[in-house]
A and B are shown apart, each in its own frame.
Chain A
Amino acid sequence: MQRRFDVLVVGGGPAGIAAAVRAAECGVRVGIVDDNATLGGQIWRGTSEEQGQEEGTQEAARWYRRFGTAGITTLCGRRVFHQPEPGVLLAEGADDLFELGYRTLVLATGARERFLPFAGWTLPNVLGAGGLQALVKSGLPIRGKRVVVAGTGPLLLAVAAYLREHGAEILIVCEQAPWSRLARFTGELLGQPGKIAQALQLKRKLAGVPFVANSWPVAAHGGQTLEGVTISRAGKAQTLACDYLACGFHLVPNIELPLLLGCQVRGGLVQVDDFQQTTISGVFCAGEPTGIGGVELSLVEGQFAGLAAAGCRTEAQKLFGARRKARRFARILDRTFRLRPELKSLPSPETMVCRCEDVPYSRLEQHSSWRAAKLHTRCGMGPCQGRVCGPATQFLFGWNPDSVRPPVFPVRVASLAGFRGRAKPEAATVAGGLG
């Protein structure tokens, strides 16, 4: 199926929704495509127009209402995997293929959790912190389950509070960052009343749950599924029996699609100008791919990108102040939750680092680059295409993934063959993930 838009938005989280709404309100034809069953991205997953007792969901509800009346074409459950020619993206659904034409494009592809390997991390019921939250939002019964939350970043507390509200017993929250950095983080928040209110709300929801800094998971134990976790708690090992380990080490931007389109990326972040335009004319980028800054920054960057993509730059200029403030928070996040070097020694020689191809640490440490490791071990060549082990090996070995080739997600051969435009994908690119 073919669809043409003035502005096409890829990604239906806060940044994408804000971009689509602001662009549509300028009077242009807007489409939004997302791979999940519903809009909202990870943070607004499961919220709707009707909900809204808490500040976060009220904000979501306000944007959903605007979205609902803006006349935006929504394609959920479709994953963009290729740009066969400039101005056209291909998106695959469960049973269909879309050719999405655009004049300008907004990339709002969000972020994923960073995972680090440690003994037992591949056991079922060891999930990302956001990963477990996403499953609970999708209906997983969590009442009465014992959960250890560990890793780094503000997401840990938000997830712990959410799970507890839904009946989970949170045994402990382990944050790898030292107290000194957390104390400084709290100090910086004093300048941002909204953030302080959120922090106090979390503190109330987590009353009685131990929160420890300088702490991280060392090993997950179990046979067929998780039975317990050993943590390093401020220098001392402690083992806890539990049903779930929710473990993520902050976030990494999803930059595969921007890279495929040729957008310049520096330090893992998509480079943009004052109007969120990438180094490719007419291609804009907003939200986490330009720097992990949370929902406020995503909303303001999304608005910039949507307005600029629709040609309403004057309107966008009113938002400069808000963006400057939100970007300050992004820098504080980065500084506070930087990974400590001790985490590099978590994997033992037999710990799997690449989960798709089951490549252990011992086979990787003998290589000098991501490319050499791929060629010799198949690390990063499974279906996730290095989305999990790439950021892990970047931290462990300092490797940088060097190229992105279509399709950026594994797709059916029929989807690659189905494009009716001028350019045909080369036969060599058909086997997704074999880059």
Chain B
Amino acid sequence: MPDQVTLTVNGATVSVPSGATVAVAMAIAGQACRASVTGEPRGPLCGMGICFECCVAINGKPHCRSCQTLCESGMEVKTD
């Protein structure tokens, strides 16, 4: 297993330790995960799949909880 996994967040390349979640990749990329219904930037709150604040689109699939999804090489992550 490689030590680092490389993926893209809104087109920018990010390297994370292998085994890291997508929420971690978002933090390393310095990006909020989503805009709230009134447009506020939001990031993870609970870290355990309860709050839905860390939702992003992963490989084209929307509303994925980034805190419960492990990073994979070549993954494309997008925020709205």
Contacts and interface: CB of A to CB of B under 8 A. Distances in A.
Contacts of A115: 45-46
Nearest to A254: B50
Contacts of B40: 122, 352, 358
B44 A131 contact: yes
Given A37-B70, A358-B38, A388 B45 contact: yes
Nearest to B18: A139
Interface string B5-37: 000000000001101110110011000110011
A37 B52 CA distance: 17
B50 A124 contact: no
A214 interface: no
A415 to B, nearest CB: 13
Nearest to B19: A139
Interface in B55-79: 55, 63, 67-70
Contacts of A130: 46-48
30 contacts: A35-B49, A36-B68, A37-B70, A112-B46, A113-B46, A124-B32, A125-B43, A127-B43, A128-B47, A130-B47, A134-B46, A134-B48, A135-B21, A135-B24, A135-B27, A135-B44, A135-B67, A138-B19, A138-B20, A138-B47, A139-B17, A140-B20, A224-B32, A225-B41, A254-B50, A352-B40, A356-B37, A383-B55, A388-B45, A410-B52
A227 to B, nearest CB: 13
A229 interface: no
Contacts of B44: 127, 131, 135
A122 B32 CA distance: 12
A122 to B, nearest CB: 6
A254 B46 CA distance: 13
A130 B50 CA distance: 12
Most interface-central of B20, B49, B70 (chain A CB within 10 A): B49
B68 A124 contact: no
Nearest to A247: B45
5 smallest CB-CB distances across A and B, nearest first, come from A139-B20, A134-B47, A124-B43, A131-B47, A383-B52
Secondary structure class of chain A's binding surface, majority of residues: loop
Interface residues of B, number: 34
A358 B48 contact: no
A388 B20 contact: no
Interface residues of A, number: 41
Interface string A26-66: 00000000011100001000000000000000000000000
A42 B37 CA distance: 29
A224 B43 CA distance: 10
A355 B19 contact: no
Given A127-B46, A225-B43, A388-B50, 20 more contacts: A35-B49, A36-B48, A37-B68, A112-B46, A115-B45, A115-B46, A124-B32, A124-B33, A127-B43, A127-B47, A128-B47, A132-B47, A133-B47, A135-B27, A139-B20, A225-B41, A352-B36, A358-B37, A384-B51, A387-B51
A134 B49 CA distance: 11
Main secondary structure of the interface of B (DSSP, over half): loop
A126 B43 CA distance: 8
A224 B55 CA distance: 17
A357 B42 CA distance: 13
A140 B68 contact: no
Given A135-B27, A384-B52, A387-B50, A128 B45 contact: yes
B51 A355 contact: yes
B49 A355 contact: no
A122 B40 CA distance: 8
Contacts of A356: 37, 52
B32 A225 contact: yes
Contacts of A87: none
A382 interface: yes
Contact of B68 (A35, A42, A383, A387): A35
Contacts of B69: 37, 94
Contacts of B48: 36, 42, 112, 130-131, 134
Contacts of B50: 112, 254, 384, 387-388
A141 interface: yes
B63 A410 contact: yes
Contacts of A37: 21, 68-70
A384 B52 CA distance: 6
B67 A134 contact: yes
A36 B21 CA distance: 11
